[in-house]
Structure 1
Amino acid sequence: MNYLKEVVILLLGPYLILLCRRVSGEQISSKGVINLAHRQSKWTPLMQMSANLSDITSIRSFFEFRTLDPEGAVFYGDTKEGQDWFVLSLRDGIPEMQIGKADILVSVKGGRKLNDGAWHLLELRNEGKFVVLEVNNKVELVVGLHSKLVEDDLTGKIRLALGGMLVDKQKLFHPFEPEIDACIRGGHWLNLSTTWDTDSTWEPRPCFSEIKKGSYFPGTGVAMFNTSDLPGLKTEEAGITVEIFGSWTGTMLSLQSTGFEYILAVLDGNKDVKEVQLGLKEGSESVALPREPETLTFTILKHSLVVNSVTELEKESLDFFSMWKKGMLLTFGGVPGDSEKAKSTHDLRGCLEKILVQGQVIDLDRALYKHTAVSSHSCPTEAMNELT
């Protein structure tokens, strides 16, 4: 576990310093196209704005929204410095509203699934003691809330945020995973023309014009898991299997623990084959695998590692099952903590349409660490043609 901590600190160190500083970054238009996916902190909003309640004439906001991600924070608002708050999120692709007001916590989920990759017009508004969500001009969700402990006349400021929350996540009635791979455009926020404030860690990234399901690696960045958090061994005969579907080139994965490092890189060969490089610290070898189908099966047995039932690397001195259970770093897209080695084996470029560990789909939003350049749930459709 000490090895895991050292690598995580190495990867996150510069970002944590910037987050602690909370230096004000640039301001961006509230009506432009905003990519919510690429940020360092899970819960900190990508951007936020505030205004005096006396300037508000309409508690109504609307914007276009597109995602393939089933879960994450979309839109947040609060008054009284977070004493009364509201958050719109997705769970299983379905809109969910949670509200905290005085002594009341409310969580309501309903309406159509929004994670179909199409643009949807969302509108949120207050109607007296009700909060209404419309999708494509049709009412999908209505939440009523009343507390005798709350005064109707409000003064002070209202705060809005995208892609996160401004209050502690412990206040949530129904916890969720906040990261969301989504885009927003054409936003109108209350009756304000205020720009959004970002912090110095934010790097604006464009939204793909057309998307398909998958996790996109642009040739920069990795997604790293602790194997002890992943599905474990069922039977020794079957071993532990990682299945990857998609179209890619570069370092597919690496497996590391104290004194051990294994790298699997898939490099473009001719149109019919791809070269698979297998590397250990003390040596490496390569073997050609058929280019089709675009599937890679990596099987971990007690003393060996197998790729597509063709390449087998044996190490009798190592017990991979025990190492997996205790905790190794399973990294997709490169080699963490060793930039020079990552460059030498080529960072991953392409779309991983699906990753399965022991038959279970792996969500990159659940990673121990994920670089901001990696898109968890969407790939650009044009990138597929470049790799075929």
Structure 2
Amino acid sequence: MTFNFTKIKKSSSSFELRTWDPEGVIFYGDTNSKDDWFVLGLRDGRPEIQLHNHLAQLTVGAGPRLDDGTWHQLVPALDGCVRQGNWLDPQAQTSESTPASSLRSCAVQSQPGTFFPPGTRAEFSLQDIPQPHAEPWAFSLDLGLQLAAGSGHLLALGTPENPSWLSLYLQDQKMVLSSGSGLELDLPLVLGLPLQLKLAVSRVILTQGYKKEILALPALHLGFLLNLWAQPQGFLFLGALPGEASSASFCLDGLWAQGQKLDMDRALRRSQDIWTHSCPQIPSNGTDTTH
């Protein structure tokens, strides 16, 4: 690709990358091959930038490994808030600022975690997360639930056509575990205690603290559930299901599959309004709208 710099009107680029190769150049550009050049590549599977011009000479590498054969987007959003800014010369500004109403409000106080506002969701392909144990067959999900309000789904296992073969629902300050066959059980909502959902042959075990509830699964339904891991359309849904009018909002201080923590930035798809690394410390409508 060759670009005429005098005709460029856009200052940003984005693309998706897929590779198994841990080392190499993604792209290189220069205006002068001796004094002004730029390289984006992979070193040991991680992104690296090399920049050389009369203003700066630097090499920077960061981020997770990308050489896993799956698609990656190279412009990840940053979950953060900025305030008390003094941006260059206001008289030189040529375009109006984005209205604050279109941006996420900053909580007055925040804590680490992942916050799902009402109606938001994230999707993980079951093939991209740690796999069930084979003998005996078992799969576990652990949630650290810090805040929760409203009614709606917290998580579900299913397909886009039938997203709730097995689901955990928030309703009237209790958690309802439900199977696609209509069977369900519930636990009172207790915040701050780890919640574990463990799938085993013929049953699902929901545990929090000293409380344990067991949901027996019919053989036919268990077969459908196990098949989710054998097809590319098997998903772990977090938050509102497709087409659901959910009022549930919640905060997780962690989500683990088979004991391994899931990174929300690596979800297959997620709502842009999800706070991936922060949570409001208390649920309230009073927010600091400085950005």
TM range (shorter): 0.5 to 0.7
Q: CA RMSD of the aligned region, Å?
A: 4.0
Answer yes or no: is 1:180 the counterpart of 2:86: no
How far apart, CA to CA, are the structure 2 residues paired with 1:253 and 1:85?
39
Partner of 1:38: none
Partner of 1:117: none
Runs of 5+ in structure 1 lacking a partner?
1-78, 88-97, 109-125, 132-141, 145-173, 270-274
Structure number having the greater helix percentage:
1
Given that residues 197 and 205 in structure 2 are in contact (C-alpha distance below 8 angstroms), is that contact kept between their aligned partners in structure 1? yes
Given that residues 305 and 313 in structure 1 are in contact (C-alpha distance below 8 angstroms), is that contact kept between their aligned partners in structure 2? yes
Q: What SS does the corresponding residue of 1:324 show, helix, strand or coil?
A: helix
Answer yes or no: is 1:306 the counterpart of 2:205: yes
Q: What SS does the corresponding residue of 2:240 show, helix, strand or coil?
A: coil
Query: Structure 2 matches for 1:220-231, cutoff 5 A?
Result: 220-231=119-130
Partner of 2:241: 335
Q: 1:176, CA displacement in angstroms?
A: 3.7
For 1:356, which of 231, 250, 256 is the aligned residue?
256
Given that residues 109 and 281 in structure 2 are in contact (C-alpha distance below 8 angstroms), is that contact kept between their aligned partners in structure 1? yes
How far apart, CA to CA, are the structure 2 residues paired with 1:282 and 1:357?
24
What is the TM-score of this pair, normalised by structure 2? Answer: 0.63
Q: 1:325, CA displacement in angstroms?
A: 3.7
How far apart, CA to CA, are the structure 1 residues paired with 2:117 and 2:8?
38
CA, structure 1 residues 371+238, in 2 after alignment: closer, same or farther (shift >3 Å)?
Answer: same
How far apart, CA to CA, are the structure 1 residues paired with 2:120 and 2:86?
30
What is the TM-score of this pair, normalised by structure 1? Answer: 0.49
Given that residues 222 and 370 in structure 1 are in contact (C-alpha distance below 8 angstroms), is that contact kept between their aligned partners in structure 2? yes
How far apart, CA to CA, are the structure 1 residues paired with 2:165 and 2:200?
16
Q: What SS does the corresponding residue of 2:228 show, helix, strand or coil?
A: helix
The one-letter code sitting in structure 2 at the alignment partner of 1:143 is: L
The one-letter code sitting in structure 2 at the alignment partner of 1:101 is: D
Q: 1:314, CA displacement in angstroms?
A: 1.1
**CA offset digits 1:259-310 (Å, max 9, x no partner):** 56332113454xxxxx321223442433235726522111222443322152
CA, structure 1 residues 303+383, in 2 after alignment: closer, same or farther (shift >3 Å)?
Answer: same
Partner of 1:105: 38
Given that residues 99 and 105 in structure 1 are in contact (C-alpha distance below 8 angstroms), is that contact kept between their aligned partners in structure 2? yes
How far apart, CA to CA, are the structure 1 residues paired with 2:28 and 2:113?
32
Aligned residues: 229
For 1:263, which of 160, 163, 167 is the aligned residue?
167
Runs of 5+ in structure 2 lacking a partner?
14-26, 42-50, 60-71, 285-291
Query: Structure 2 matches for 1:47-196, cutoff 5 A?
Result: 80-81=6-7, 100-102=29-31, 104-106=37-39, 129-131=54-56, 143=58, 176=74, 178-185=76-83, 186-189=85-88, 192-195=92-95
The one-letter code sitting in structure 1 at the alignment partner of 2:235 is: L
Given that residues 226 and 329 in structure 1 are in contact (C-alpha distance below 8 angstroms), is that contact kept between their aligned partners in structure 2? yes
Q: 1:100, CA displacement in angstroms?
A: 4.3
Given that residues 204 and 217 in structure 2 are in contact (C-alpha distance below 8 angstroms), is that contact kept between their aligned partners in structure 1? yes
Given that residues 287 and 311 in structure 1 are in contact (C-alpha distance below 8 angstroms), is that contact kept between their aligned partners in structure 2? no
Given that residues 185 and 213 in structure 2 are in contact (C-alpha distance below 8 angstroms), is that contact kept between their aligned partners in structure 1? no
